[in-house]
Amino acid sequence: MPDLTQDQWKSQLAADNEAVILDVRTKEEFDEVSIPGAKQIDIYDPPSFMEAVQQLDASKNYYVYCRSGGRSAQACAVLNSIGIESTYNLLGGIMEWSGETVPN
């Protein structure tokens, strides 16, 4: 699981046809603001989180973020442990994100 800076995240995501953006924050956090196109899966709800990640396509590349980068690093480790090899953690999370965001 590589940790990507914002610039690395943006450029790699733009060139990736197999990219899926995962937001692992709570629904309340996600409802405030998110990165466009993100799918929300709350890592603080372990049963639902595990059920959702088991349904993910392991052939895709997952760009994962949270508020500051801690939960997303943990989520990447979980994804790796279930056989999803291509995961990328956004350093600094959405708190340091300077790219486009959308309210939900």
| Domain regions of the chain by residue span | 3-96
Angle at 12 between CA 63 and CA 38, to 5 degrees: 30
Per-residue pLDDT of the chain (104 residues; tens, 9 = 90+): 799 999 999 999 999 999 999 999 999 999 999 999 999 999 999 999 999 999 999 999 999 999 999 999 999 999 999 999 999 999 999 999 999 999 88
Q: Is 34 exposed, middle or buried (0-12, 13-18, 19+ CB in 10 A)?
A: buried
**CATH code that applies to domain 3-96:** 3.40.250.10
User: Is 66 a residue of the active site?
Assistant: yes
CA dist 46 and 1 (Å) reads 20
Amino acid sitting at position 57: D
CA dist 27 and 4 (Å) reads 24
Q: Select which of 66, 73, 76, 79 is catalytic.
A: 66
Q: In the prediction, which pLDDT does 81 show?
A: 97
